[in-house]
Amino acid sequence: MSLKDIIGQEKAVRMLLGILIRQKVASSYLFCGETGIGKKTAAVDFAKALNCLNPQPAGPRITSDSPVDACEECESCSKIKAGVHPDFLLISPEERLIRIEEVRIIDDALSYKPFEGRKKTVIVDDAETMNISAANAFLKTLEEPPQDSVIILVSSRPDLLPETIRSRCSRINFFPLSKASCREVLAEKEKDAEKFSLAARLSMGRPGIALSSDLHEERKWVLNLLRGMLHAEKDGWSSRDEMQRWFDHALVLLRDMTVLKLTDDPRQLVNNDLEGYLTGLSKSVDVKVIIYIHQELSRIRRLLQFNLNKSITWNYTASMLRKGLVF
């Protein structure tokens, strides 16, 4: 894939192509936006374009026909795609943490001139997971960027990065995809019609989320845990990732319950195959209570990054849901 093939991120792609055309490549970027909307893919495509041996025109999005986009076929593009280009490095957190050791690897990689390519490119995925010592060390790298190097921080929570780091990067914003674009991305990967339809609705503009997991199975698991909560069973999450996924689904279910209460129109539901279940769950509950629970769950979802205690969070959430929905 090259920049011109990215679906639905018109503004970000035009900015990146513009940077390539004007040859005004900054030493560091921050790609921001929700999880699953193509930030990392765009970062890799940008790295390919920076080093492509046979650049191509970037297509109809821009007026210039300068050859600046990746060809996808040359040795450089292939090596970056396979993650084996000597001038390309992708750093991801381990156990939700980027440590100072990773920053040392970045420094080491950037300390040489490009071996084969034009620009040494480092992508730091989920950059907000850097701990304090990693962030401090990384700031030094950003303050004195080695020549011919580009660092791209990718983050769904840029507000968690120190301001000193954010302010040194050129920011490129990405947004959830429109319904049509999301369906277009998913249609390329999901051939089962029923799964496709549910994934398109549940992903809510974030096709990467639908592609990285089986949302149908995941929702079954979410509903099962919800049942457990309402019956005062004990903590059913096994990790923080699971907690995050559970809250993401629960928020959409509460959103649907609110919509049902206010409009009584099942066509507007994300989970429209669960109309009966959701109607039953919200039948004797005031809409204000549902909205309150939604707000509380959103607040807890935001706090999850602070390593909330799993069983305390479970008990608190379960007791609120029982009071609100079962009383």
Least CB distance from residue 112 to Zn ion, whole Å?
22
Q: Is 71 in the site for Zn ion (CB under 5 A)?
A: yes
Q: Is 304 in the site for Zn ion (CB under 5 A)?
A: no
Please select the residue that binds Zn ion; options are 16, 30, 77, 137, rule is CB under 5 A: 77
Question: How do beta strands 120-124 and 88-91 pair?
Answer: parallel
Amino acid identity of residue 123, one-letter, is I
Least CB distance from residue 26 to Zn ion, whole Å?
22
Measured from the CB atom, is 1 or 289 closer to Zn ion?
1
Least CB distance from residue 82 to Zn ion, whole Å?
13
Measured from the CB atom, is 52 or 152 closer to Zn ion?
52
Q: How many chain residues touch Zn ion (CB under 5 A)?
A: 5
Least CB distance from residue 77 to Zn ion, whole Å?
3
Cβ-based neighbour number of residue 101 at 10 Å: 11
Per-residue HEC secondary structure of the chain comes to CCHHHCCCCHHHHHHHHHHHHHCCCCCEEEEECCCCCCHHHHHHHHHHHHHCCCCEECCCCCCCCCEEECCCCCHHHHHHHHCCCCCEEEECCECCEECHHHHHHHHHHHCCCCCCCCCEEEEECCHHHECHHHHHHHHHHHHCCCCCEEEEEEECCHHHCCHHHHCCCEEEECCCCCHHHHHHHHHHHCCCHHHHHHHHHHCCCCHHHHHHCCHHHHHHHHHHHHHHHHCCCCCCCCCHHHHHHHHHHHHHHHHHHHHHHHHCCHHHCCCHHHHHHHHHHHCCCCHHHHHHHHHHHHHHHHHHHHCCCHHHHHHHHHHHHHHHHHC
Please select the residue that binds Zn ion; options are 15, 74, 100, 223, rule is CB under 5 A: 74
Could you give the residue ranges of the DSSP H alpha helices within 146-203? 163-166, 179-189, 193-202
Measured from the CB atom, is 86 or 280 closer to Zn ion?
86
Span from 11-19, 69-77, 139-147, 179-187 in contact with Zn ion (CB under 5 A) = 69-77
Least CB distance from residue 75 to Zn ion, whole Å?
8
Please select the residue that binds Zn ion; options are 6, 52, 154, 229, rule is CB under 5 A: 52
Measured from the CB atom, is 52 or 153 closer to Zn ion?
52
Least CB distance from residue 118 to Zn ion, whole Å?
12
Span from 52-60, 120-128, 182-190, 232-240 in contact with Zn ion (CB under 5 A) = 52-60
Span from 21-29, 50-58, 205-213, 278-286 in contact with Zn ion (CB under 5 A) = 50-58
Measured from the CB atom, is 47 or 260 closer to Zn ion?
47
Measured from the CB atom, is 74 or 142 closer to Zn ion?
74
Span from 35-43, 77-85, 206-214, 306-314 in contact with Zn ion (CB under 5 A) = 77-85
Measured from the CB atom, is 72 or 296 closer to Zn ion?
72
Span from 51-59, 98-106, 190-198, 302-310 in contact with Zn ion (CB under 5 A) = 51-59
Span from 21-29, 71-79, 114-122, 310-318 in contact with Zn ion (CB under 5 A) = 71-79
How many Å separate Cα 218 from the centre of its chain?
18
Q: What are the C-alpha distances in Å from 140 to residues 145, 147, 168, 264?
A: 8, 14, 11, 56
Which residues here bind Zn ion, judged by CB under 5 A? 52, 70-71, 74, 77
